[in-house]
Structure 1
Amino acid sequence: MHQALDGATALKLAKLWWQKGKLERALAGYRQVLAIQPGNAEAHKQHIDLMEEMSGLESAFAHYGLRSCGLRSCGLKSRDLSSYGLKRDALACGEDWPVEVATTDVLCCSVVRDESVRLPYFLDYYRSQGVTKFLVVDNGSTDGSLEILLAQSDVYVWQTDFSFNLANFGSVWFELLLRKYGLDRWCVIADADELFYYPDCESKSISELCEELDRRDKMAYLAILLDMYSERAIAQTTYQAGQSFQAICPYFDRTAYHRACQNSTPYHNQTIYAGGVRERVFGSAGDYYLSKVPLLKYTKTCVLAGGQHWTSYPTDKIAKGRGAVLHFKYFDSFISYALREQRRKEHYGEAVQYDQYVKALAAQPMLTLYSQQHSVRLKSSEQLVELGVMQRN
């Protein structure tokens, strides 16, 4: 409690110094807050606001280690792409390729690290759903992810070696990119293992959903994270680049969540869901939050949460409908990935969830999430509406 109070006090003081015109002292104050509370989304936003006022938005890009990336600026050449079987007629982005975003574009923002296997299907899925431009941050990939991204004509890429944790789990990078390129535009925010699903998504594009939300004067669309898995052991769930995620991991738990806490966000504006298959299999120590805000219309008043678990928009700006974020974490690569992320300590609570994953997999190397009692095979979006996971507007 004492540490949280110190952070709150420091934030008030920083705002006060700003109001008094003491900008350098205010800047130091915000950085004090973030040293105490690196996950304080409001402090990050005000910190960026101040840096933009003092020296322009590019200073905030530099502070958070975000640099634009094209073939030249990344030190890559065309042969680097061909070594991955890739070809591109033009350079990628940043210094080499101007970022061009139309008012009608539906954006997708993502942070990736070593996701070369998932990226082909991830990109194809969102293109098929109506996403027209991707703004992607590569956070230190070494597996060819960067080269794959640079080969795409609709993907703009930024690189950073900055801490994922200190960037509030990537939300600060999204804030910067959307502030510069996505003002008043709809954006999907998703990890490379996440597919945004919503009622009638088989026939309705994301752009059509956005048009519907505009007519209703809504700014955000909520979802429940739904972990997907196969009927086999995780160690036997092999996946190859380009395959449909759903074809490999078609099952989910009938009980999508274990707890629902109303008005429990910092803005007291939405219900937070927790639990799901991870709590069933790995226990409750990991605090598995399932609430997501995968689709929003970005404005400078919007505060982006770490993990996109909540939104600052008021209740009357949040859609009544609800979708799902299908989460495809449990391919066989998950075993080595969990060990790496446990060591890196970049995720929530010093990677407490990864501690639970590693512990369970060590005790049961052939661990499977599938259960005849709990598991259901995904058939359609209407099925998730009928089960209460999703709901219509």
Structure 2
Amino acid sequence: MKIRQSSYPFKNPDDFDYSRTLFHRLRTWLDSRRVSARLESRAETVSLSPLSPATFRPLTSNDVPLLFLAHNDLKFMRSLLAHYRALGVTRFICVDDQSDDGTRELLCGEPDVDVWTSPARYGEARRGKLWREALFARYGKNRWYLNIDADEYLIYDRCFEKPLPDLIARLETLGLRRFAAPMIDMYPGGSVSAFTFDGSTDAMPWDVADCIDGNGYVLEKTKRFLSLAGGPRRRKFAAEAEMMKYPLMYWDDDCSFGISIHQPLPFNRNFSAISGVLLHFKFFADYHEKTRAAVEDKQYFGGAREYQRILDTVEASGDLDFVYDGTLKYASPQQLVERGFMRSIWADGQHVGS
């Protein structure tokens, strides 16, 4: 049952009521207990081996770790590492899913990156959930982790002035254990096939794909999490991809990714105000090739049916151009605060977390 629905982005930060009644909090708690018990009864494991370095390196109490998955993502590696190092990440933990484009070799040459491999593929590892949980357990619980994919770049208000240790301290002051940040799909300002991003320079992906949908999203407060739909994939392909994520999490014994990485357990931690955004990049000149590879690989949800829908549309039309009258050219994190995509975590106000 839906509790509340609203258009997104918000015209002002108070347009959406994140608070919940005692009844709704109790219902969430009971559902969380039920799902956790079911998952414990059929616990799964997956094999992981360290590739670089060859021996395990524990984290220190001062480390800010980031875990991500990669599969033929070489074009993102240079910018991804630079972006998150600027935000204060001290250790990168990567599961390389059998890349053959140079991703693995590049990462193995970086001293602050731990590279892991698995005989299982992404789909066999429950779309990577088992890898993530196994590595959180290996590196240690009761600490904060960033948890992303290779094409996601977290931003938040004043993120280049107040890096991740400041953000974590702020979340702890507010009594929050998760940081809500939806994926917002970026696209170029014209025919996608004309815009190349290959990661060979210091350019960031938003220097090439610098546009987003400025309206047309729907945010719903459900029993388990905040659910967000919309954006160019929905507008162009009728894709119903879930966009909400919690990329910064305090991981302890109560946590798991349960049914989906978009609604982690325990559910009651999933209701803090949206205070960040994951800039998400899928559409460059190589989109046709990458989409076809995803369809053939069949590692994604539902046998990669969303990618099949995109591929069918592209092959029917011959090209993609996402620009419409609501297109917004991305300028800065502050712009997205002003446009209602996120509220400032530093401002006084509603930062509900349970």
Instruction: Pick one of 212, 219, 227 that aligns with 1:260.
Output: 219
The residue that corresponds to 1:322 in the other structure is 275
Paired residue type of 2:329:
R
Query: TM-score, structure 2 length as denominator?
Result: 0.82
Which one has the largest radius of gyration?
1
Residue 252 of structure 1 deviates from its aligned partner by 0.4
Instruction: Pick one of 246, 249, 260 that aligns with 2:206.
Output: 246
Unaligned runs of 5+ in 2: 1-34, 346-354
The residue that corresponds to 1:385 in the other structure is 337
Deviations 1:351-376 (A, max 9, x none): 111011101110122211122x0211
Cα distance in 2 for residues equivalent to 1:104 and 1:46? 35
Checking the alignment, whether the CA contact within 8 Å between 2:39 and 2:258 is kept in structure 1 is no
Residue 232 of structure 1 deviates from its aligned partner by 2.5
Q: Indicate the SS of the match to 2:190.
A: coil
Instruction: Pick one of 242, 257, 261 that aligns with 1:289.
Output: 242
Distance change in 2, residues 1:317/1:261 (3 Å): closer
Alignment of 1:10-89 (within 5 A): 47-48=42-43, 60=45, 64-70=46-52
Once superposed, what is the RMSD of the aligned Cα atoms?
A: 2.1
Checking the alignment, whether the CA contact within 8 Å between 1:213 and 1:319 is kept in structure 2 is no
Cα distance in 2 for residues equivalent to 1:274 and 1:260? 7
Checking the alignment, whether the CA contact within 8 Å between 1:45 and 1:303 is kept in structure 2 is no
Instruction: Pick one of 303, 310, 334 that aligns with 2:263.
Output: 310
Distance change in 2, residues 1:367/1:350 (3 Å): same
239-248 or 302-311, larger mean C-alpha shift: 302-311
Residue 391 of structure 1 deviates from its aligned partner by 1.6
The residue that corresponds to 1:118 in the other structure is 76
Checking the alignment, whether the CA contact within 8 Å between 1:105 and 1:185 is kept in structure 2 is no
Deviations 1:152-186 (A, max 9, x none): 11000101231312212111101010111031221
Distance change in 2, residues 1:116/1:356 (3 Å): same
Distance change in 2, residues 1:368/1:317 (3 Å): closer
Checking the alignment, whether the CA contact within 8 Å between 2:145 and 2:248 is kept in structure 1 is yes
Checking the alignment, whether the CA contact within 8 Å between 2:65 and 2:92 is kept in structure 1 is yes
Q: Indicate the SS of the match to 2:131.
A: helix
Q: Indicate the SS of the match to 1:293.
A: coil
Cα distance in 1 for residues equivalent to 2:61 and 2:216? 36
Deviations 1:284-328 (A, max 9, x none): xx3221111111011121012566312223536754342111001
Q: Indicate the SS of the match to 1:118.
A: helix
The residue that corresponds to 2:21 in the other structure is none
125-134 or 286-295, larger mean C-alpha shift: 286-295
Distance change in 2, residues 1:253/1:67 (3 Å): same
Deviations 1:176-218 (A, max 9, x none): 1011103122111111111011122132212210111122221
Q: Indicate the SS of the match to 2:121.
A: coil
Sequence identity, in percent?
25
Paired residue type of 1:380:
S
Residue 150 of structure 1 deviates from its aligned partner by 0.5
The residue that corresponds to 1:167 in the other structure is 125
The residue that corresponds to 1:376 in the other structure is 328
The residue that corresponds to 2:192 in the other structure is 234
Distance change in 2, residues 1:279/1:320 (3 Å): closer
Cα distance in 2 for residues equivalent to 1:44 and 1:153? 36
Cα distance in 2 for residues equivalent to 1:154 and 1:328? 24
The higher-RCO structure (CA 8 Å, 6+ apart) is 2
Unaligned runs of 5+ in 1: 1-39, 52-59, 71-92
1:192 matched to 2:150 = yes
Checking the alignment, whether the CA contact within 8 Å between 2:67 and 2:92 is kept in structure 1 is yes
Checking the alignment, whether the CA contact within 8 Å between 1:202 and 1:381 is kept in structure 2 is no
